[in-house]
């Protein structure tokens, strides 16, 4: 999945637990984030949530 194309876009993201996240997405690569994989950070009304690429089931640009 190419997460970079979702950077600075409003998205609807569904994770592997079927939880829906709505908000602005910000891309962070594995090197910058000190993880083994790329991450999307979703800014919702309640704050920021980091979601690993492997935890993403689907993404839709709104």
**DSSP single-letter state for residue 29:** -
- Three-class secondary structure of residue 24 per DSSP: strand
pTM score: 0.85
Q: How many CB atoms lie within 10 A of CB 35?
A: 14
- Residues 40, 25 contacting (CB under 8 angstroms): yes
Structural domains in the chain, sorted by start: 3-61 (2.30.30.100)
- Residues 1, 55 contacting (CB under 8 angstroms): no
pLDDT over 80 (residue 34): no
- Averaged confidence pLDDT in the chain: 93
The pLDDT value recorded for residue 20 is: 96
Distance of CA 2 to the CA centre of its chain: 11
Sign for the pseudo-dihedral over CA of 4, 26, 51, 20 = negative
């Amino acid at each position: 999945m190419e997460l970079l194309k979702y950077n600075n876009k409003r998205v609807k993201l569904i994770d592997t637990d079927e939880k829906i996240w709505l908000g602005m997405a910000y891309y962070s690569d594995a090197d910058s984030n000190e993880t083994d994989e790329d991450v999307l950070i979703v800014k919702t009304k309640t704050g920021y949530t980091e979601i690993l690429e492997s935890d993403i089931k689907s993404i839709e640009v709104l």
